[in-house]
Amino acid sequence: MVGGKNKKITVISLITVVVVAMIAGGVWFYSSASIASQTTAASSSELTPVPLKMSAYYIVLPEPFIFNVSGKERDRVVQIKVQLMVRGEQNEALAKQHIPLVESVLLQTFSVATVEQLRQPQGREQLRQQALITVQATMNKMTSMPVVERVLFTGFVMQ
């Protein structure tokens, strides 16, 4: 009986060693293939440089926008704090130079909104997108570049 038990332990041990060796070999094979593909990708990216994005700058508009919006039941007062996201120092300088114009265009865009639109998250997002399109079109007329990448609402209150 003791000899049969030792034989079983030996067979189980050998099977365990073979399974562990197969797992280790598989891990080594797949990791070396991954390293080789990364090395190939790195060497090919050295040949064709990927352009780096310029740093993002955030321009805080000095005053929040306060305006009335009409609604079916009653009119409301809305306050929106806005920041502009631009890329690069040149665009930052251009946006800062034209802040009064940007504020005017944004106020015109916001004044078209309704209470029903601003109650819904999708409506606020549409207003933000419309503000971006309007600001970019205005900046494009002034500087031949859109300058502003995003219009951000950093505060939104409706009473």
pLDDT in tens, 9-32: 877 877 877 776 677 666 666 665
Residues 70 and 128 grouped into a single domain = yes
Query: What is the model's pTM?
Result: 0.64
Q: CA nearest 67: which of 23, 2, 101, 113?
A: 113
Q: How many domains does the chain have?
A: 2
pLDDT of residue 87: 93
Measure CA of the first residue to CA of the last residue in the chain; give whole Å. 88
Helix ranges, 48-98 (H): 89-97
- Are 104 and 139 within one domain? yes
Lowest mean pLDDT among 20-24, 73-77, 85-89: 20-24
In this structure, are 93 and 138 located in the same domain? yes
Same domain assignment for residues 7 and 30: yes
The alpha-carbon radius of gyration of the chain (Å, integer) is 31
Q: Does one domain contain both 45 and 61?
A: no
Residues 81 and 143 in one domain: yes
What average pLDDT does the segment 118-145 reach? 93
44 with 87, same domain: the answer is: no
Domain interval for residue 116: 56-158
**Same domain flag for 33 and 95:** no
